[in-house]
């Protein structure tokens, strides 16, 4: 059962080992993509931060969101 939960992560590791390792290390070190010098390096690599945002509602900020549970 535990192995089935790790299967997607292992597949990504096999497909793109350098990108996976970089993301894993940045997560462990809690690096923020918006801080220098990481943001500057990402821009040089062609990363467009505006196309990679994961926001469902614009201008939601840091305020609490309401949800309905049925």
CA angle 55, 62, 60 (to 5 degrees): 45
pLDDT in tens, the chain (70 residues): 677 888 888 888 888 888 888 888 888 988 887 878 877 877 887 776 555 544 444 555 677 888 888 7
Contact between 33 and 49 (Cβ < 8 Å): yes
What pLDDT does residue 55 have? 47
Does the pTM surpass 0.75? The reply is no
Dmax of the chain from CA atoms?
46
């Amino acid at each position: 059962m535990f192995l089935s939960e790790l299967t997607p992560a292992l597949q990504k590791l096999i497909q793109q080992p350098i990108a996976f390792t970089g993301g894993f290390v940045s997560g462990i070190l809690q690096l923020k993509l918006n801080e220098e010098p990481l943001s500057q390096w990402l821009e040089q690599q062609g990363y467009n931060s505006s196309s990679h945002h994961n926001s469902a509602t614009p201008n939601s900020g840091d305020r609490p969101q309401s949800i309905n549970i049925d």
